[in-house]
Amino acid sequence: MTTEQTRAQASAPTASTTPAAAAPARPAHGIVPLFIGLMLSMLLAALNQTVLSTALPTIVGELNGVSLMVWVITAYILASTIMMPIYGKLGDQIGRKPLLIGAILVFMAGSVVGALAQDMTALIIARVIQGLGGGGLIILSQAAIADVVPARQRGKYMGIMGGVFALSSVAGPLLGGWFTEGPGWRWAFWINLPLGVVALAAALRFLDLPRPPGRPRLDWGGMALVTVATTALILVTTWGGHSYAWGDPVILGLAALAVVAGVAFVLVERRAAEPILPPHLFHRRNFNLTTAAGLLTGVAMFGVLGYMPTYLQMAFGVDATASGLLMIPMMAMIVGASTLSGHWISRHGRYKAYPIVGSVIVAASMVLLSFLDPAQPVWVASGMLALLGLGLGLSMQVLVLVVQNTFPSAQVGTATAANNYFRQIGATLGSSLVGSIFAARLSALITERMPAAAAGAAGNHESLTPAAVAQLPGPVRELVVHAYSDALTPIFLWVTPLAVLAAVLLLFVREHPLATTIERDIAPEPLATGSLSIVAPAGPGGDEDGPARPAPQRQERDASAERPASR
């Protein structure tokens, strides 16, 4: 018997096998209020990642911590990354609504701490608290929509979710610039409180999601080890070559700790009853390819997005609000590309080409951005960013859809969280590496180019802000601006091969049909019926490469058959 025949025979329904139930999709009028609640939660998290971008130069200048600027970004990404697989697994076990409510409350608490921060240490702690809540806002929202919308129709919803990120990327820098120039940068944190209250009310009122039966089984060992491994890895990329030499014992020790914790994590997950990152996820071809592509794109994307508003202010002499406006073309392209591609996917059921084309466009935009120069017209920078937005809009949300189509409903939260976890690892590496390399290059270039007589006029480069640079004498200002540009733009070219590699990997994705129903496990029949139903534990499901199906139930013979007929 061939392997294909064996596989087909094993997957065919028999008299003793009952397939998982196909839950009907909710009517559109029932999905709309639920979707509004999820969109508000995603907006809260997405806006937080962009509102500080234009305010950050002023914040670190006031708090005297330019060298720590990278940590304001990295602390949030690190904390949210660690929490992603935890939220994903717990959401599959106890339901997503209570976790989403808790995540909103934690995020709001972090916002209060940030608004009251008086130094960089307090600000970084606030960003960590925000990340602990923010890590669940996006993951739980993406997984929740998969609970009620089949994959075939999910494309248009995922496209709109991608538009939320674009909207926040426009509104965030604009709000950050307005706060900086008006009531003060602390309102970049206070604004999260009214938004959080609205998101919380929407979650309590609208989110009527299925709740899995049974009690959760927590993977404490896995949680601890993934925290240690992730933190050690990010510290290596943040401190290496900047705070410490790459060969320093501190860096080598952290690298060793990351490797040891990573290996221990794999061993623990293989034996855990309910691992937060189940090993069987990595048996699926499409999951591996899209996850790797998302990680690589994350490095490139966050390396650019985290520092472009600051670059626009420094290099082109625009204020914080104007730098936010200059990002609008990129965000408009993200909204248009993600929304239209989502509708086309729902209509035609084809999705493979979009992320491939998107990754190629991202690579092309990175090459163009590496040639930015302060002497160019500012619209050139906006055009390059628009091209980047087109590539991101075609790719990022589609990768999540492919992952969700690969696994059954009972595992979609864990799979979505795992995919986003590795994408965020890429984002953290991108922010850390670009930030560390940029800070080191900027310090070296200013020291190298600044005449001794002008050093006093320039002041300490740790406290440089766009406003301070604008007040410098003409020749000194030009020197600082070109040093800033020359320190950052070549890094964009260095990360271009990552986007190219992502496109190559996505060529090998297998385009399986999108599911038209939501598969759920059938609940066991009550014993009073005279039957015993045994539900098989959730496993990888499906064949090695095809879309997964929930493990079928195995039904025992009717108990009445074991008794002799009454006379």
Identify the top-confidence range among 96-105, 307-316, 401-410: 96-105
49 contacts 301 by C-beta, under 8 angstroms: no
Q: What is the pLDDT of the chain when averaged over all its residues?
A: 76
Residue 146 pLDDT more than 80? no
Residue 155 pLDDT more than 60? yes
Which DSSP letter does residue 349 get?
-
> What was the pLDDT predicted at 1?
45
- Cite the beta strand spans of 146-257 per DSSP E: none
Contacts with 307 (C-beta within 8 Å, 6 or more apart), sequence order? 434, 435, 438, 488
98 contacts 208 by C-beta, under 8 angstroms: no
Confidence of residue 108 (pLDDT cuts 50, 70, 90): very high
> What was the pLDDT predicted at 503?
93
Report which of 320, 238, 234, 378 is spatially closest to residue 50, judged by C-alpha positions: 320
488-546 pLDDT, tens digit per residue, is: 888 888 888 989 999 999 999 988 887 766 665 444 333 333 333 333 344 444 445 55
> What was the pLDDT predicted at 2?
45
Strands 21-23 and 17-18: unpaired
Residue with tokens 């839950």: 23
Neighbours of 526 (CB within 10 A): 9
> What was the pLDDT predicted at 242?
67
Neighbours of 1 (CB within 10 A): 6
Measure the CA–CA gap between 388 and 337, rounded to whole angstroms.
11
378-389 pLDDT, tens digit per residue, is: 888 889 999 998
> What was the pLDDT predicted at 557?
38
Contacts with 69 (C-beta within 8 Å, 6 or more apart), sequence order? 56, 60, 435, 439
Q: How many CA atoms lie within 13 A of 139 on its CB side?
A: 37
Residue 283 pLDDT more than 80? yes
249-273 pLDDT, tens digit per residue, is: 999 999 999 999 999 999 998 888 8
Q: Give how far the C-alpha of residue 443 lies from the chain's centroid of Cα atoms, to the nearest Å.
A: 31
> What was the pLDDT predicted at 160?
74
> What was the pLDDT predicted at 456?
55
Handedness of CA 496, 497, 499, 503 (dihedral sign): positive
What are the residues facing 240 on neighbouring strands? 244
Residue 349 pLDDT more than 70? yes
Q: Specify the pTM.
A: 0.72
Encoded tokens for 211: 């709740």
Measure the CA–CA gap between 163 and 152, rounded to whole angstroms.
19
